[in-house]
Amino acid sequence: MQNRYAIEQLIEAGEWISQKGWVPATGGNFSAKTDSGFVVTASGHDKGQLTAEHFLQFDIHGQIESGAGKPSAETDLHLSLYQLDDQATCVLHTHSVAATVLSRFITTDTLMITGYEMQKSLTGVASHEETIQIAIFDNDQDIERLAEKVTARYQHSPLYHGILIRGHGLYAWGRSPAETRRHLEGLEFLFACELERIKLEASL
């Protein structure tokens, strides 16, 4: 992707994601791969009102090439995902209520989801009878350490569509901005369904 196109796609995604309520209080960050590396949102801006000045350009090794503002601390995790999955061209990181709460409620390292038609919104999933597995990592303010854990787990068994950070949010990725948006929306829908199911079962 050319820089300008990548930034346009992320600005548009930001408006949509913000309307969904998945990036409150300037939270979250977005990136897309470009011909020379990747662009990523600078920290501290309302993700529903981004402009081209709110992006930083990195080379593929994670060195800043251009742009003003402070890079998000979470840039390292975006970089790791691009290095691990060479098909990934876009990463959208959100802080939704469903992802935040569900990742705390599930105390193991994997969220298992089965039985939902909407699982088919995830590339490669053909049936509600399949079980999708979303890795959960404990939150860590040391993003380099967190990125190392994601890398170690990916190398042990590849991760698809997205990962959860406990009490924090979701990182979704895909082979294009459109596919990434579909993965994000599909996963958020499934998380919200699971949350409702758990609440209902607890009240019976």
Residue numbering of the annotated binding site = 93, 95
Cβ count near 132 (within 10 Å): 19
What is the rounded end-to-end Cα distance, in angstroms, of the chain?
Answer: 51
Task: Retrieve residue 164's tokens.
Answer: 């959860």
Residues in the annotated binding site for Zn(2+) = 93, 95
Task: Retrieve residue 60's tokens.
Answer: 């593929």
Whole-angstrom Cα distance, residue 167 to residue 118?
24
Task: Retrieve residue 200's tokens.
Answer: 């209902």
Query: Which residue is listed with tokens 């098909």?
Result: 87
DSSP-derived letter for residue 132 is E
Task: Retrieve residue 18's tokens.
Answer: 């913000």
Task: Retrieve residue 162's tokens.
Answer: 């997205």
